[in-house]
Amino acid sequence: MFGHLQIKSAYSFQESTILIQSLIDNAKSKHIQALALTDDNNMYGAYEFYEACTKASIKPILGVNASIMFNDDLIHLLLYARDDVGYKDLVRIVSDINLNENKAITLKALSNYRDHLYIVSHEYEDRLIEQEATSKEDLLTHAQTERPVMSFMKTMKSLFCASYRIMIVEDGIKGHSLRNQTLIKYAQFLDIPCIWGNDVRYLHSHDAFTLDLLQASKKGEVLNKDHEPLTTDRYLKSEKEIRELFSRYPDIIKNTEEIIDNCYGSIQKTENGLPHYKTPVGDSGAYLRHLCIKGLKQRFKNQPITDDYKDRLLYELKTIHTMGYDDYFLIVFDYVQYAKKHGILVGPGRGSAAGSLVAYCLGITNIDPLKYDLLFERFLNPERVSMPDIDVDFQDDRRDEVIQYVCDKYGHDHVAQIVAFSTYGPRVAIKDIGKVMGIPLPRLEMIAKMVPTAPKHRKSITEVYSTSASFQDMIQKDPVLSRLIAPMSLVEYLPRNITMHAAGVVLSYEPLRDVVPLVIGPSDMIMSQYSKDYIEKTGLLKMDFLGLKNLTMIDYIMKDIERKLGKTFSINTIPLNDARTYHLISRGDTTGVFQLESSGMRSLLQKMKPECFDDIVAAIALYRPGPMENIPLYLEGRKNKNNITYLLKELEPILKSTYGIMIYQEQIMQIAQVIAGFSLGRADILRKAVSSKDESMMAGMKEEFIQGAIKKGFKEDVVTKLYQMIEKFANYGFNKSHSVAYGYVAYQLAYLKANYPLYFFAAILSNESGSASSKMRTIEESKRYGVKILPPSINYSYSRFMVEEGGIRYSLVSIKNVGSAGYKMILKEREKGLFKDMYDFLARIPSLSSKMLESLIDAGAFDEFNKNRAYLRKNISLMMEYIQLGVDEKPIFEEVRENKFERLEREKEVLGLYISTHPIVYVKQKIKHPLVNLVDVENYMDRTIPVVCSISSVRAIVDKKGREMAFIEGQDETGQVEFVCFSNQYERYKNIFERGKTVEMNVRVQYRDRLSLIINQVKEL
């Protein structure tokens, strides 16, 4: 069997250009029968590699290039799993290396694993030979002398016996062939088998230059513009090429085949992945039942419990117990209870878990599944065994407390977060690779910005190069850039570094070190090296602890209401029929409301005019790619209920609430149950098959559905048509459980906005404190509600935006250069008494940095002392001098006249926006003809109007004809909007469109799904 034993993938960051699937495809095309993945001290790609090889009928060999301490030297050895135990050994070794401060293990520690691994040295002998030898003659003459290289090889043989091999690497580098001859002689003398290697780092020889660029970037080096690779031989060679390369050494080829034949390591699913929950009494099943019955009584508030709830609870408990998930539910219950007891806001539910009555009784969710026709089988299907998946939302500023609780409870060696990977992407690829060749960073940033990265407009470097004439022209004019375009296009798809999955946490009964490879993540939290796509396949329990900023907002608002209005307020007890709330939603006034704030969603809400909570649930399900196609049908049915027809009368109870069309996945399951006699478990399998377009499964399910319906007395042609409808809609059907759960959060925020707007806007501004554009939009909207934004105040501002005397006081920490430590110093001193003036402030807090002081002045935090900002900036040094000298009398300060434009620009610099007034007001005052404020443009539909604005951003894209057009964001004192500039106008005015410029424009106001302002004429002011 022919195969390669030395391959690094792109998961050896900046040391390879190989993506796993590309490797498999290339190997398949060359009829390579086996591959070994040997990344540097990691197994990030092991599961992906193992699955892809197996699918392609290529033998996967699990390996690693491990860092080992030998005496005082750091060496690298290739390790291969000979069997399943060997795979587990690799997991432990890789974990120990990554969790060790030295990022290596000792040779002695490695020797404990020799029985189930092949240990192959491949680079240290080369180093030793290079150090000790001066010529070929010297090497051959003294081949049998006890030299360091011989000593090392003897040590390895004595420690690892028959598991030890020496790899002869032919990589095309000058001088390596001579060293290989010497190494082979040493190995023959010591009777150590040799195998061949090719140190594969790229798939094609022309990618060698890209590898050099990556390695130079990693080291922070700059290459010569004429740089050529030292070798281009580290590509994936065919069997014919390798046999020619090692034709003089048939034994080496034979020894390599022997290793390949004898490696059978596989990734086995752990059978005991779930931790046990320690119950106060009884076993897990009994305790779960006890908690659920108690919880159901509390939900019914001691009223008689109806049979449908009793039956559903017993069914769910039986299913959960049979599937072995009692502990799972208790674990989730436990940390949710911890959060609630410690005042951490928990979401009402998320995903299909909202369909579980057990979750509702335990307080994991706050959604009554029977009330909303939610199905348990959509969450946990006894006929399709899979791990349950309860994702829980927590307020994002306290999520880490819950994770810490879980770590403390189950032990840090049993809990880990999950790795994720940051890919280069086009812009970083351009900058990182360009820097290596000495291209100035400003030029690289200009080029990078020409590649659109927004989700709806994302393009690769290759796509932009082939469609944008200006981008292509810029590249072709520069010989260095022309040479780099191919490497950049390859690098953009590669992983650049590890990061941490935003929500995933993995729990294990066994110590995780024995189950999955581990690594220390960016925040010093231990992480699994297998990503979210593979971790559950190992049999481990993955739970998502999601931080939802909207819950943090709700928490802020509740606490502010209690503090300011002196009344207890609970978001979970608000009425779901509040008229103000539905009036707000119906007019599309949902900016800042979770799930309902996009312009398209607001347009849908204006057409729907929601009257009840179910309408909000439907809107959330409809306004998604795919389901959007059904919006006209839904609105027509909603408007003319008498015109709705049903293919079968039995469909009416299922589809009546959605006006005759399928919106929810649960409806498809109910149809399969009622029409074809499917169990709900079987119906969920149908739902999954159709949604995933599994053609082989779909064919069988179709026949089963039709025959089941015929048995129930339905006509074949009618149920065939019904099945075709299911096939069409199932692909787009939305999970109703998730829609209901998030509908609750949406309604809660809409209720708060409608009934407590002051507190709502204060919370949004606090939540958006890092985004100037978001803050500006929120401030604009708050003004329409009559809310006054009060400037920052050294005496009255806090870390958050706070409600104060009918207005909202600006936050101190939202000022540039005002950090948490500085704020705490101010707050601590202020608690002793308000500051009387600037001099008093400096005398009491003399240790603040000059940068922070100037930022506070420029933001207007000292305006209340009735001195202009230029005066304070001018005299601050004199004040500090007198304070340091301990002089009792204040000095005579120099009066300073203030420039209003400079004052405003300094204000914007530290706040990100203008608070006191907008400089464009002064520009508008000089224009004699009428202008339209940006906040009012919607009132001029299908008309051309004059506007004056300051340009905030310019986003150029390529239209369908390959010509450049742009989206221009502009702002005035009333608001911020986006303009569209088509190719003809953009070509004419593109030199004017620069951030910060003030322009007058004639624009056409249109509405196509959303407001569109089309630029006709532009004049720079």
pLDDT tens-digit map of 677-696 = 999 989 888 888 887 777 77
Residue 7 has pLDDT above 80, yes or no: yes
At position 124, the amino acid (one-letter code) is: Y
Burial of 364 (0-12, 13-18, 19+ CB in 10 A): buried
Tell me the percentage of the chain whose pLDDT exceeds 70. 98
Average pLDDT over residues 199-228: 94
pLDDT tens, position by position, 21-51: 999 999 999 999 999 999 999 999 999 999 9
pLDDT averaged over every residue in the chain: 90
pLDDT of residue 387: 75
Relative to beta strand 59-70, strand 3-4 is unpaired
- Quote the CA–CA distance of 567 and 1010 in Å, as a whole number: 41
Relative to beta strand 518-520, strand 194-197 is unpaired
pLDDT tens, position by position, 186-198: 899 999 999 999 9
pLDDT of residue 626: 75
pLDDT of residue 149: 87
If one compares 620 and 976, the residue with the highest pLDDT of the two is 620
Residue 133 has pLDDT above 70, yes or no: no
- Quote the CA–CA distance of 690 and 728 in Å, as a whole number: 9
> pLDDT category, 568, cuts 50, 70, 90?
confident
Residue 844 has pLDDT above 80, yes or no: yes
- Quote the CA–CA distance of 861 and 812 in Å, as a whole number: 8
Q: How far is CA 490 from CA 211, 217, 461, in A?
A: 10, 15, 9
Most distant CA pair in the chain: distance in Å? 102
pLDDT of residue 395: 94
Q: Which of 90-104, 568-582, 634-648, 717-731 has the lowest mean pLDDT?
A: 717-731
- The one-character DSSP state at 959 is -
How many C-alpha atoms does 435 have within 13 Å on its Cβ side?
Answer: 17
The token pair at 411 is 């032990």
Backbone φ and ψ for 927, nearest 5 degrees, come out as -90, 130
Tell me the percentage of the chain whose pLDDT exceeds 90. 64
> pLDDT category, 878, cuts 50, 70, 90?
confident
- Quote the CA–CA distance of 169 and 176 in Å, as a whole number: 8
In the chain, count of helices (H) and strands (E)? 42, 22
Average pLDDT over residues 979-994: 92
> pLDDT category, 146, cuts 50, 70, 90?
low
Which residue in 151, 193, 164, 162 sits closest to 79, CA to CA?
164
The token pair at 660 is 């005759």
The DSSP-derived string for 174-232 is: TTHHHHHHHHHHHHHHHT--EEEE--B--SSGGGHHHHHHHHHHHHT----TT---S-S
pLDDT of residue 481: 92
pLDDT of residue 496: 95
Using a CB cutoff of 8 Å and minimum separation of 24, what contacts does 306-313 make?
A: 308/370, 309/357, 309/370, 312/357, 312/369, 312/370, 312/376, 313/357, 313/358, 313/361
Residue 393 has pLDDT above 90, yes or no: yes
Query: Rounded to 5 degrees, what angle do the CA atoms 579, 584, 587 make?
Result: 120
Q: For residue 690, give every residue at least 6 positions away whose Cβ sits within 8 Å of its Cβ, in sequence order, or none.
A: 668, 698, 701, 726, 727, 730, 731
Residue 139 has pLDDT above 60, yes or no: no
pLDDT tens, position by position, 777-824: 888 888 888 899 999 999 999 999 999 988 999 999 999 999 889 999
pLDDT of residue 148: 86
> pLDDT category, 308, cuts 50, 70, 90?
very high
Question: Could you tell me if 1003 and 1014 are in contact, meaning their C-beta atoms sit under 8 angstroms apart?
Answer: yes
Coil, helix or strand at residue 458: coil
- Quote the CA–CA distance of 225 and 438 in Å, as a whole number: 8
> pLDDT category, 771, cuts 50, 70, 90?
low
Residue 218 has pLDDT above 70, yes or no: yes
Q: How far is CA 518 from CA 43, 82, 423, in A?
A: 9, 21, 20
- Quote the CA–CA distance of 931 and 2 in Å, as a whole number: 77
Residue 137 has pLDDT above 60, yes or no: no
Neighbours of 904 (CB within 10 A): 20
Which residue in 809, 99, 190 sits closest to 511, CA to CA?
99
